[in-house]
């Protein structure tokens, strides 16, 4: 498949580990909850599920934890550990996210979210950090039959924006997410979080950045917009 080239007309963002700093907290919750139940869940094993839809990740974790009963117990413990009811959001924005979204909005570049999390979780987490208003559309893992690295989420997000996937630039932190974007015909910029992407994915990407602080200088070149602050 030919890699799409700029200028693009829309942006699609992953959420967990890309816009909000959630992956480390979630990783620690699963490892600690499993350990409390007498199971040594390895960090490397857990990282296999990062970026996947809940159906796929649940199946993998069920196997890692030894069966459905233990998975349900650990999952319940994790949910209690991740209960987001305090005055401050449990998952804060990643550096540069707010200013990048503001710049794209000011430039008239429509943005969407394509996240493996449920649609209601997208709305809750992005609402908690006050950036939901920057998005024209969002697509959650519970809305497609197959999650990342399948292209369905990116296809759905592009469709809801009313933009051809080849005219979209995605921002992803995980290899599974990057593969999903690429399979949908969406160009992708990778901003690694917990795990560095493989060389094959990197070679097919539009670039690799250290954080969302860094894309601003590229925006006028990447997007077909009249003005980018």
- Same domain for 115 and 35, yes or no, is no
Co-location of 47 and 158 in the same domain: no
178 and 206 both lie in a single domain: yes
3-state class percentages of the chain: helix first, strand second, coil last, to nearest 5:
50, 15, 40
**End-of-domain residue from the set 63, 81, 99:** 81
Which of 64, 81, 98 is at the close of a domain?
A: 81
Residue 5 in domain: no
Q: How confident is the model at residue 229 (pLDDT cuts 50, 70, 90)?
A: very low
Would you tell me how many other CB atoms lie within 10 Å of the CB of residue 192?
Answer: 19
Return the structure tokens found at 130: 């006050």
Q: Which pLDDT score is estimated for 171?
A: 97
At 85 the pLDDT is: 65
Residue 46: pLDDT band (50, 70, 90) is: very high
pLDDT at 226 over 50: no
pLDDT of residue 227: 47
Domain housing 62: 23-81
- 128 and 74 share a domain? no
Tell whether 133 is covered by a domain.
Answer: yes
Q: Based on the domain organization, do 98 and 72 belong to the same domain?
A: no
Measured between alpha carbons, how far is 61 from 227 in angstroms, rounded to an integer? 46
In a domain, 144, yes or no: yes
pLDDT at 1 over 70: no
Average pLDDT over residues 137-156: 94
Shared domain check, 210 and 103? yes
Residue 60 lies in a domain: yes
CATH number of the domain bearing residue 143 = 3.40.50.1000
Q: Count of domains in the chain?
A: 2
Q: Is residue 227 part of a domain?
A: no
Together in a domain, 109 and 65: no
Last residue of a domain, one of 37, 56, 81: 81
> Residue 198 half-sphere exposure, CB side, CA atoms within 13 Å?
6
User: Does residue 99 lie within any of the structural domains?
Assistant: yes
In this predicted structure, what is the pLDDT of residue 216?
79
Same domain? 136 vs 207 = yes
Question: DSSP per residue over 81-134, as a string?
Answer: HT---SSS-SSPBPTTHHHHHHHHHHHT--EEEEESS-HHHHHHHHHHTT-GGG
Q: How far apart are CA 150 and CA 97, in angstroms?
A: 25
pLDDT tens digit sequence for 15-44: 999 999 998 899 999 999 999 999 999 999
For the cut 80, the answer to whether the pLDDT of residue 148 exceeds it is: yes
Q: Are residues 101 and 167 in the same domain?
A: yes
Do 71 and 112 sit in the same domain of this protein? no
């Amino acid at each position: 498949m030919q890699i799409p080239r700029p200028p693009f007309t829309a942006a699609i963002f992953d959420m967990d580990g890309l816009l909000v700093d959630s992956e480390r907290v979630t990783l620690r919750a699963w490892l600690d909850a499993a350990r409390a139940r007498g199971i040594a869940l390895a960090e490397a094993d857990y990282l296999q599920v990062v970026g996947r839809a809940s159906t796929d990740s649940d199946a993998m974790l069920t196997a890692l934890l030894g069966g459905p009963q233990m998975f349900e117990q650990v999952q319940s413990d994790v949910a209690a550990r991740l209960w987001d009811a305090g005055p401050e959001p449990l998952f804060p924005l990643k550096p540069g996210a707010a200013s990048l979204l503001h710049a794209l909005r000011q430039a008239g570049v429509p943005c969407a979210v394509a996240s493996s999390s449920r649609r209601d979780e997208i709305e809750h987490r992005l609402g908690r950090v006050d950036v939901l208003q920057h998005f024209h559309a969002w697509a959650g893992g519970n809305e497609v039959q197959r999650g990342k690295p399948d292209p369905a989420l990116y296809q759905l997000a592009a469709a809801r924006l009313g933009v051809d996937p080849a005219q979209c630039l995605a921002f992803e932190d995980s290899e599974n997410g990057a593969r999903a974007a690429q399979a949908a015909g969406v160009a992708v910029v990778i901003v690694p979080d917990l795990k560095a992407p493989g060389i094959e994915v990197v070679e097919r990407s539009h670039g690799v950045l250290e954080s969302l602080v860094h894309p601003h200088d590229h925006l006028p070149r990447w997007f077909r917009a009249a003005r980018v602050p």
